[in-house]
Amino acid sequence: MRSVAVLLIALFMAFATPCHAEKPIEVYLLQSPENAGEGHNSRLLELALSKTGKPYKVIIDTADASQLRRIEHVKESNDNYVMTMGASPEHEKDMLAVHVPVLLGIGSGHRVMLTNKRTAAKLASVSTLEELKDFTFVQGLGWSDVEILQAAGLDVTEVYKGELAYRMIDANRVDLFPRGLFEAYSEYAIRKDKYKNLMVEERILLTYPFAFFFYVNKDNQRLHDDILHGMKAAYASGELQDIITTNPTFSQSLDEAHLENRVRMDLPAINISPETLDAIKRFPFVPGKPLGAPPAGS
Whether residue 218 is predicted with pLDDT greater than 60 in this model: the reply is yes
* 9-13, 92-96, 246-250, 263-267: least confidently modelled range: 9-13
What CATH number was assigned to the domain covering residues 25-105+211-282? 3.40.190.10
Query: Tell me: the pLDDT tens digits for 172-192?
Result: 999 999 998 888 998 999 999
In percent, the amount of the chain with pLDDT more than 90 equals 62
**Quick one: pLDDT at residue 125?**
93
The answer to whether 287 and 259 are in contact (CB under 8 A) is yes
Whether residue 214 is predicted with pLDDT greater than 60 in this model: the reply is yes
Query: Tell me: the pLDDT tens digits for 130-155?
Result: 999 999 999 987 677 888 899 999 99
Query: Tell me: the pLDDT tens digits for 108-125?
Result: 788 999 999 999 999 999
Q: Average pLDDT for residues 21-36, to the nearest whole number?
A: 80
Query: Tell me: the pLDDT tens digits for 230-285?
Result: 999 999 999 999 999 898 888 888 889 998 899 999 998 888 899 999 999 999 98
**Quick one: pLDDT at residue 297?**
64
Numbered ranges of CATH 3.40.190.10 in the chain: 25-105+211-282, 110-207
What CATH number was assigned to the domain covering residues 110-207? 3.40.190.10
